[in-house]
Amino acid sequence: MRTSGDFSLNDLPGAGRMDVACRCVTSSLLLSHGIRNNISLYIHMLGEPDPPKTLLFKGDHMKYLSPDERSTASLIKKALSLKVSRSWITSTPGVFVSRLTLDEILDDLSEKGEIFLLDEGGKDIRNVELKGDISFVLGDHLGLTSPQKNLVRKKCTECVSVSPLSLHADQCIVIVLNELDRLQEERC
Amino acid sequence: MRTSGDFSLNDLPGAGRMDVACRCVTSSLLLSHGIRNNISLYIHMLGEPDPPKTLLFKGDHMKYLSPDERSTASLIKKALSLKVSRSWITSTPGVFVSRLTLDEILDDLSEKGEIFLLDEGGKDIRNVELKGDISFVLGDHLGLTSPQKNLVRKKCTECVSVSPLSLHADQCIVIVLNELDRLQEERC
């Protein structure tokens, strides 16, 4: 995905498939009439012209997020237009940007709890024990590269799958969250 | 949702939440690298200025469908710009439009198989027997009106729910299809 804010809101696919990022944001954070305030989404971007950049969307701080792709893309465009440093800076409420690498993000996440890699060949998520403050890693339309996959595998508990078919990233996120919502409901 | 093609692709939410329709189309029909050729999606539209209009997206005939909202909206815009009669006319491959009423659509669907109403108070979809050529009815961001709900209830087998939380229509579709994909996989 493009790593500067100079893309057109009228051609999100042309910006390195920025539409994929937008849908992942809304799938992760939006409920029918609210925001998932216990979810954070990291989008690690490696496209031209200024990689790496990592966006962080935090549900508990989020404002101005609407369900349509174009308005989500506006938030991303604004974040990618900022001058970025190693540490997180705030773009709009709930949207942060940094130069963190995949390795650093994974280290950060592994301190919080278990990490799972979404992989079509993985164990069915319905048969995996999910508890605590967990994270899921998944690729965009191109998938993770082999080195990226190896890096995640070293730090993850297990590879999990959500469907017998190959789905879009945002669809996978919906299914993962449905599983977590059901578990949460059972525990209450 | 707006029932003419004169809406702006730059403001889909402003066109009676046309963005909701777009996401329902892609959730219903798109896999990661393909189209669900055994799925049909009906979108029954009652907004101004020319209601009712019903769009039909048929996976087995579909062409030119991309994952981003804007390109799906282009297909809808084209279909809503056509002169519409009682019977189906083709807009682009896989996209059809008519003046069919909800009652007529339900009659058509009930001849093919069972109908289920997606409802937050319904029985968990994981505990419902799903077999044959089935249909699911769900509302947009405003939900079904009481008369619409009563009409569907008369013709449906059961009310089913997909989540303990209130989700967007496109998210519900992803979860329903995941359930059907899993059943299909089990049967094979």
B128-154: burial string, b at 16+ Cβ within 10 Å, e else:
bebeeebbbbbbbeeebeeebbebbee
Q: Give the integer Cα–Cα distance in Å for A54 and A79.
A: 10
**Position B8 in a domain:** no
Is there a single domain that holds both residue B106 and residue B181? Answer: yes
**Position A4 in a domain:** no
- How many contacts, defined by CB atoms under 8 Å, are there between A and B? 88
Domain boundary among A98, A119, A153: A98
Domain boundary among A68, A98, A128: A98
Query: Average pLDDT of B131-143?
Result: 93
Is there a single domain that holds both residue B78 and residue B117? Answer: no
Residue A141 scores a pLDDT above 90: no
Confidence class for position B141, pLDDT limits 50, 70, 90: confident
Structure-block tokens of residue B34: 């393909």
Query: Average pLDDT of A140-165?
Result: 94
The residue of chain B with its CA nearest to that of A36 is B165
Is there a single domain that holds both residue A82 and residue A27? Answer: yes
Question: Looking at residue B142, what is its pLDDT?
Answer: 85
**Position A164 in a domain:** yes
Determine whether the interchain pair B171/A174 forms a contact, defined as Cβ–Cβ distance below 8 Å.
yes
**Position A84 in a domain:** yes
Q: Are the C-beta atoms of residues B27 and B41 closer than 8 Å to each other?
A: no
Query: Average pLDDT of A42-55?
Result: 97
Is there a single domain that holds both residue A54 and residue A111? Answer: no
Average confidence score pLDDT of chain A: 96
Question: Looking at residue B6, what is its pLDDT?
Answer: 97
What is the distance in angstroms between the Cα of A185 and the nearest Cα belonging to chain B? 7
Q: Are the C-beta atoms of residues B60 and B75 closer than 8 Å to each other?
A: no
Residue B41 scores a pLDDT above 90: yes
Residue B148 scores a pLDDT above 90: yes
Q: How many CB atoms within 10 Å of residue B183?
A: 14
Q: Are the C-beta atoms of residues A172 and A118 closer than 8 Å to each other?
A: yes
Question: Looking at residue A173, what is its pLDDT?
Answer: 98
Is there a single domain that holds both residue B87 and residue B115? Answer: no
Give the DSSP H/E element, type plus range, for residue A107. Answer: helix A102-112
Domain boundary among B66, B98, B130: B98
Question: Looking at residue A114, what is its pLDDT?
Answer: 98
Is there a single domain that holds both residue A177 and residue A131? Answer: yes
Q: Are the C-beta atoms of residues B134 and B169 closer than 8 Å to each other?
A: no
Query: Average pLDDT of B32-55?
Result: 97
Average confidence score pLDDT of chain B: 96
**Position A3 in a domain:** no
Q: Spell out which residues of chain B touch residue A181, defining contact as CB-CB under 8 Å.
A: 163-165
Write the burial class of residue B180 (CB in 10 Å: 0-12 exposed, 13-18 middle, 19+ buried).
middle
Question: What percent of chain B clears pLDDT 70, i.e. is strictly above it?
Answer: 100
Nearest Cβ partner for B181 among A13, A19, A164 = A164
Is there a single domain that holds both residue A27 and residue A74? Answer: yes
Determine whether the interchain pair A12/B70 forms a contact, defined as Cβ–Cβ distance below 8 Å.
yes
Nearest Cβ partner for A165 among B163, B175, B181 = B181
Q: How many CB atoms within 10 Å of residue A106?
A: 21
3-class state of residue A148 by DSSP = helix
Question: Looking at residue B78, what is its pLDDT?
Answer: 98
Residue A155 scores a pLDDT above 90: yes
Determine whether the interchain pair A67/B168 forms a contact, defined as Cβ–Cβ distance below 8 Å.
yes
Task: Look up the domain containing A55 and give its range.
Answer: 18-98
Query: Average pLDDT of A108-125?
Result: 96
Residue A142 scores a pLDDT above 90: no
Q: Which of B69, B161, B185 is best to mutate for the A interface (most A CBs within 10 A)?
A: B69
Is there a single domain that holds both residue A106 and residue A181? Answer: yes
Nearest Cβ partner for A167 among B9, B32, B182 = B32
Q: Give the integer Cα–Cα distance in Å for B65 and B72.
A: 6
Give the DSSP H/E element, type plus range, for residue A26. Answer: helix A18-29
The CATH number of whichever domain residue B43 belongs to comes to 3.40.1280.10
3-state secondary structure A45-97: ECCCCCCCEEEEEEHHHCCCCCCCHHHHHHHHHHHHCCCCCCCCEEEECCEEE
The residue of chain A with its CA nearest to that of B11 is A70
Determine whether the interchain pair A32/B164 forms a contact, defined as Cβ–Cβ distance below 8 Å.
no
Is there a single domain that holds both residue A106 and residue A183? Answer: yes
**Position A5 in a domain:** no
Confidence class for position B180, pLDDT limits 50, 70, 90: very high
What is the distance in angstroms between the Cα of A135 and the nearest Cα belonging to chain B? 20
Q: Give the integer Cα–Cα distance in Å for A12 and A21.
A: 10
Determine whether the interchain pair B164/A185 forms a contact, defined as Cβ–Cβ distance below 8 Å.
yes
3-class state of residue A100 by DSSP = coil
Is there a single domain that holds both residue B171 and residue B115? Answer: yes
Over the stretch B95-122, which tens digit does the pLDDT of each residue have? 999 999 999 999 999 999 999 999 999 9
Tell whether pTM > 0.90.
yes
Question: How many domains does one find in chain B?
Answer: 2
Is there a single domain that holds both residue B133 and residue B89? Answer: no
Identity of residue B11: D
Query: Average pLDDT of A83-112?
Result: 96
